[in-house]
Amino acid sequence: MNVEFMPPIMFGGLVIFLLIGFPVAFSLCAVGLFFGMISIELGYFTADYLGNLPLRVFGILSNELLLSIPFFTLMGAILERCRLAEDLLEGTGQLFGKVPGGLAYAVILVGAVLGAITGTVAASVIAMGMISLPVMIKYGYDMRLATGVIAASGTITQIIPPSLVLIVLGDQLGVSVGDMYAGAIGPSILQVGLFMLYIFAVSRFQPSRVPALPDEALMARGWPLYWKVLRGMVPSIVLIFLVLGTIFMGLATPTEAGAMGAVGALLLAAMNRTLTWPLLREAMANTMRITTMVIFILLGATVFSLVFQGVDGGRWIEHLLTALPGGQVGFLIFVNVFVFFLAFFLDFFEIAFIVIPLLAPVAAKLDINLVWFGVLICVNMQTSFMHPPFGFALFYLRGVAPQSVRSADIYWGAFPWVCLQLVLVAIVIIWPESVTYWLHAGTGIDPATVHINVPPPAFDDSAVPVFR
């Protein structure tokens, strides 16, 4: 069998394993090792080639950047349980309560803030679902709009720094995580703006779906209300600066910033008098589960990719995608449609570890900015939390929603928000400056045009000592 047939057969074998429902990490290992043995027997490469595998595994386990994942996960797990979201939601909801759609505006803004301090979708959706959904139902919000805005606002966490997805994509694309965070600022603002614009449109044309809070539900305006808002907002802003500000200013690496964020989360929990041993135990257990899942998927992916590259899989992917009509535009349309449908079946970690290493070389060859490309893929992968059958944001909301809320309302409520997320994908493609504007401008000098001429040293014959 010709070696050019091996990459598509290998990729097809992986798809079959995933459709059967076998765990992704073990599917990657099994397919990689199986086709590795076949390739050795058929003479595509020698057994010595697989000797690179231990070195690649060691490289993963010693990667300091990946150490930021457990730090950020621990930070989010602590903040999820320390009642910070309650103060934020209650205060902000009261602040916007007089405005039609005020509770929805509050959910969107708090979702963005929680995303910036927790980095996890589960923490945002669960907190807002438990606190805001009963209030929205009580005061007559449309059920589908209420569930949709809560689930969608939780997914802002995916794109807003310090998102775990941006860390993983930065590692897989070989670009700075700081640049990924900076590039994601624009799309994050646009995402919040799109969501709030949608609520504004609904409040103008269908105000009965998003009524303002009645006077009896509002607390008196003045310092008590402002203090309640500030008590929830100021510690969050301080923690955001501690994590993101130190990265953008070059004072800390993502790993160091994650460690400071975890310490900051412990201090916030202590300030809220919720720092207990059960909270720490649950947070550490959750961190261990997520970190272990990520590492196992990454180890499986490196086994698969090593063999895939050994049978010229990278060249096969490159020829397949560079031959698409339309050049850069055709490639971007295909990739975004492909990732969107993959997200129906795979979560963002699996897509990042399996698909992105195959797409990155093609994007680089087409002269696509890899930071912009990574942020674009991250925006697209937001939808994986919002559509069936594995929309985890919908699962989280279903788990905390009252029994009176039908699952059909949760799923149908997500539809317009998925469309808004796809609108953001189109905006980022059409307007690349939404990402690149926030990146460091650099010197403006092309290194290829720089020539360094060092003149030879001049010697004075009279200064040279003469030995006789």
pLDDT value, residue 201: 93
CA distances from 384 to 49, 84, 381 (A): 36, 27, 5
The set of residues, in sequence order, having a beta carbon less than 8 Å from that of 173 and lying 6+ positions away, is 356, 360, 370, 371, 373, 374
CA dihedral for 76, 78, 79, 80, sign (positive or negative): positive
Question: Number of helices (H) and strands (E), helices first, in the chain?
Answer: 23, 0
Query: Please, are residues 25 and 302 in contact by the beta-carbon 8 Å criterion?
Result: no
Distance CA 82, CA 236 (A): 12
d(CA 20, CA 8) in angstroms, rounded, equals 18
What is the per-residue pLDDT for 166?
A: 87
Listed in sequence order, the residues at least 6 apart from 278 whose beta carbon sits closer than 8 Å to its beta carbon are none
Q: What share of the chain is helix, strand, coil (3-state, %, to 5)?
A: 75, 0, 25
Q: Which parts of the chain have pLDDT scores under 70?
A: 1, 80, 83, 85, 87, 118-120, 123, 217, 219-222, 232, 388-390, 440-468
Within a 10 A sphere around the Cβ of 301, how many other Cβ atoms? Answer: 26
Residue 250, burial from CB neighbour count under 10 angstroms (0-12, 13-18, 19+): exposed
Reduce the secondary structure of 121-142 to three states and give it as a string. Answer: HHHHHHHHHHHHHHHHHHCCCC
If you search the block for the tokens 């990520």, which residue do you land on?
294
Cβ-contact 112, 160 below 8 angstroms: yes
pLDDT the model gives residue 424: 93
With contact defined as beta carbons under 8 Å apart, do 18 and 304 qualify?
A: no
pLDDT given at position 449? 54
Nearest to 393 by CA among 82, 75, 149: 149
| Domain regions of the chain by residue span | 64-439
**What is the C-alpha end-to-end distance of the chain, expressed in Å?**
78
Query: How much is the pLDDT for 450?
Result: 54
pTM over 0.85: no
Q: Please report the sign of the dihedral spanned by the C-alpha atoms of residue 388, residue 394, residue 395, residue 398.
A: negative
Instruction: Please check whether residue 285 is in contact with residue 291, taking contact to mean a CB–CB distance below 8 angstroms.
Output: no
Phi and psi at residue 450, in whole multiples of 5°?
-85, 130
What is the maximal distance between C-alpha atoms in the chain?
A: 108
Instruction: Calculate the dihedral angle through the C-alpha atoms of 56, 58, 63, 67, rounding to the nearest 10 degrees.
Output: 130
Contact 117, 240 (CB under 8 A): yes
Identify the residue whose tokens are 């708090």.
110
In the prediction, which pLDDT does 446 show? Answer: 46
Q: Are 158 and 392 in contact (CB under 8 A)?
A: no
